[in-house]
């Protein structure tokens, strides 16, 4: 088991040295490297390659609708209160699935289903059941399949939860961000503590195996005192997992965030770190483990167990206990990862609708991974997800000598070794408890595109 994180080991000086812009590495190469020259043909060829793999498939479906815009949001969302839009969207997802399944003649077993957004519970319970039925008609779930959904407690009813439980969903993530009303008003997301706790308790009663709560630091008007009150409230619920995301201020990409620049003060870098340090102290003192980045989990949670066993992995949905199954994604702006490629659907809803209505897949851009990309992705995801990375396993799989292929990277990592983030051995890298907080910095060393400065640096959030 990895050592327990001591918040005092993360000093202001260390923060100043390490805080920079960088990817969260849910993919490598990251999205700025993808090309619009990649199209439907490349995607369908990849699906056919993936069909030959004797492994369960994972499916993600993007439900883009929300009733109102949270100003901090960096997701691909569509604001609407028109119920009929659900119906037309589901019809298009069904058509898209019908276009994809002929390429999967043999691979019809699912190990994972994830619904994200937007707000998946913008769909009615009956519509969620219909969506689930689209997949059970075409695929067979493994006995231990992971069925996960992200929900907004403000629009999620008991009937939603009852339906999801009956359909076999076993993981659920509740968005909170912050319970302080001043912060909530500034970000246009008013959500009472009582409403959230009541829904949380109903999820527990309905037997969800794992409940996650999402929080966010770095929002307007947050102080360590007010955020600590939110943390105490969340800890009292005892979620299995907690994600404490740093707010990514990217107003050049998300125009709603410019509202903060005009009237709402964002925490300064030192204040921002103190917010995260407060979260680290609160969760570690309450028995949670920092499993990596800004994620915490109870000691008996599947993710913590997987981390200690070296079996935790990372995907577009974040940390997971599942192996790197091929991911097929449906819906507006969704991203597939299979057959050695990334393929993204149209990011504008009208473009997605137009393609599907015309009987075409909505692929708008993507990327075919080279041998070097595959190797570096393996290394980066291992750094992001494990406490130890042995060189021999990578050498055997990719027919390289690690110390030679990555000689420059190992030399660069020595500065981080001097900071106490990792230990460099002759046959392995071992990431410390402090290093688990800064794994993005460690992973960035292996990112060829960052080294070459080939675009996109400004698109990334800060590492702290």
Of 301, 327, 353, which residue is a domain's last?
327
Q: What is the pLDDT of residues 293-344, one digit of tens each?
A: 889 999 999 999 988 888 888 888 788 887 667 999 999 999 999 999 999 9
Statement to judge: residues 173 and 289 lie in one domain: yes
- Whether residue 342 lies inside any domain: the answer is no
Statement to judge: residues 12 and 65 lie in one domain: no
Statement to judge: residues 261 and 381 lie in one domain: no
Would the pLDDT of 1 be above 70? no
Task: Output the domain CATH number for residue 397.
Answer: 1.10.10.920
Q: What is the pLDDT of residues 172-228, one digit of tens each?
A: 999 999 999 999 999 999 999 999 999 999 999 999 999 999 999 999 999 999 999
Q: Is the pTM here over 0.75, yes or no?
A: yes
Of 305, 327, 349, which residue is a domain's last?
327
pLDDT at 308 (0 to 100): 87
Task: Output the domain CATH number for residue 107.
Answer: 3.80.30.20
Statement to judge: residues 303 and 400 lie in one domain: no
Statement to judge: residues 131 and 77 lie in one domain: yes
Would the pLDDT of 157 be above 90? yes
pLDDT at 161 (0 to 100): 98
pLDDT at 437 (0 to 100): 86
pLDDT at 74 (0 to 100): 83
- Whether residue 458 lies inside any domain: the answer is no
Q: Which domain holds residue 389?
A: 1-23+370-453
- In angstroms, the CA 343 to CA 363 distance is 6
pLDDT at 12 (0 to 100): 76
In the block, which residue shows the tokens 């409403």? 195
The answer to whether 238 and 287 have CB atoms below 8 angstroms apart is no
What is the overall mean pLDDT for the chain? 92
Statement to judge: residues 9 and 52 lie in one domain: no
Statement to judge: residues 317 and 404 lie in one domain: no
pLDDT at 455 (0 to 100): 46
Q: Which of 139, 165, 73 lies closest to 330 in space, CA to CA?
A: 139
pLDDT at 98 (0 to 100): 98
Confidence band of 249 (pLDDT split at 50, 70, 90): confident
pLDDT at 324 (0 to 100): 62
pLDDT at 38 (0 to 100): 97
Q: What is the pLDDT of residues 351-361, one digit of tens each?
A: 999 999 999 99
- Whether residue 96 lies inside any domain: the answer is yes
- Whether residue 357 lies inside any domain: the answer is no
Of 298, 327, 356, which residue is a domain's last?
327
Statement to judge: residues 312 and 434 lie in one domain: no
And the tokens for 124? 């009615």
- In angstroms, the CA 401 to CA 394 distance is 9
Mean pLDDT calculated for residue range 361-386: 96
Number of independent structural domains in the chain: 2
- Whether residue 110 lies inside any domain: the answer is yes
Cis peptide before 29 (omega within 30 of 0): yes
pLDDT at 242 (0 to 100): 97
Statement to judge: residues 3 and 40 lie in one domain: no
- Whether residue 157 lies inside any domain: the answer is yes
And the tokens for 284? 């570690």
- Whether residue 459 lies inside any domain: the answer is no
Confidence band of 456 (pLDDT split at 50, 70, 90): very low
The answer to whether 352 and 332 have CB atoms below 8 angstroms apart is yes
Q: How far is CA 246 from CA 62, 90, 243, in A?
A: 23, 33, 10
Q: What is the pLDDT of residues 400-454, one digit of tens each?
A: 999 999 999 999 999 999 999 999 999 999 999 889 889 999 999 999 999 887 5
Would the pLDDT of 130 be above 90? yes
- In angstroms, the CA 43 to CA 343 distance is 6
Statement to judge: residues 141 and 279 lie in one domain: yes
In the block, which residue shows the tokens 């051995």? 425
- Whether residue 290 lies inside any domain: the answer is yes
The backbone region for 455, taken as left when phi is positive above 0, alpha when psi lies in -120 to 50, beta otherwise, is left
pLDDT at 144 (0 to 100): 92
């Amino acid at each position: 088991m990895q050592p327990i994180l001591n918040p005092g080991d993360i000093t202001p000086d260390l923060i100043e040295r390490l805080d920079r812009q960088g990817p969260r590495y849910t993919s490598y190469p990251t999205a700025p490297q993808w090309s619009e020259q990649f199209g439907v043909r490349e995607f369908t060829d990849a699906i056919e390659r993936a069909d030959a793999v004797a492994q369960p498939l994972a499916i993600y479906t993007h439900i883009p609708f929300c009733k109102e815009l949270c100003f901090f949001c960096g997701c691909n969302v569509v604001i609407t209160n028109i119920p009929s839009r659900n119906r037309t969207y589901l019809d298009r997802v069904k058509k898209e699935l019908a276009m994809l399944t002929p390429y999967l003649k043999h691979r019809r077993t699912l190990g994972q289903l994830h619904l994200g957004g937007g707000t998946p519970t913008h769909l009615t319970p009956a519509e969620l059941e219909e969506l689930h039925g689209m997949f059970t008609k075409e695929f067979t779930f493994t006995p231990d399949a992971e069925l996960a959904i992200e929900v907004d407690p403000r629009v999620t009813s008991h009937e939603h939860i009852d339906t999801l439980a009956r359909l076999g969903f076993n993981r659920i993530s509740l968005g909170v961000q912050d319970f302080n009303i001043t912060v909530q008003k500034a970000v246009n997301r008013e959500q009472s503590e009582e409403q959230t706790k009541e829904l949380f308790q109903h999820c527990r009663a309905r037997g969800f195996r794992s409940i996650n709560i999402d929080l966010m630091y770095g929002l307007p008007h947050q102080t360590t005192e007010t955020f600590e009150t939110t943390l105490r409230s969340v800890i009292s619920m005892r979620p299995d997992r907690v994600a404490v995301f740093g707010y990514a201020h990217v107003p050049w990409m998300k125009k709603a965030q410019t509202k903060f620049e005009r009237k709402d003060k964002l925490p300064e870098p030192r204040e921002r770190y103190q917010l995260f340090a407060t979260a680290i102290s609160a969760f570690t003192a309450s028995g949670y483990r920092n499993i990596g980045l800004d994620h915490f989990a109870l000691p008996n949670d599947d993710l913590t167990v997987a981390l200690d066993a070296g079996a935790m992995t990372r995907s577009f949905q974040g940390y997971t206990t599942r192996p790197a199954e091929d991911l097929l994604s449906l819906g507006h702006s969704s991203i597939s990862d299979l057959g050695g490629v990334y393929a993204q659907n149209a990011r504008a809803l009208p473009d997605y609708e137009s393609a599907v209505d015309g009987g075409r897949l909505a692929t708008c851009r993507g990327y075919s991974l080279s041998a070097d990309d595959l190797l570096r992705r393996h290394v980066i995801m291992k750094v992001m997800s494990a406490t130890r990375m042995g060189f021999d396993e990578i050498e055997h799989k990719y027919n390289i000598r690690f110390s030679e292929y990555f000689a420059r990277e190992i030399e660069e990592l020595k500065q981080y070794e001097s900071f106490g983030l990792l230990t460099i051995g002759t046959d392995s890298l071992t990431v410390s408890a402090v290093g688990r907080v800064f794994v993005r910095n460690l992973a960035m060393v292996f990112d060829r595109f960052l080294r070459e400065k080939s675009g996109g640096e400004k698109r990334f959030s800060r590492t702290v």
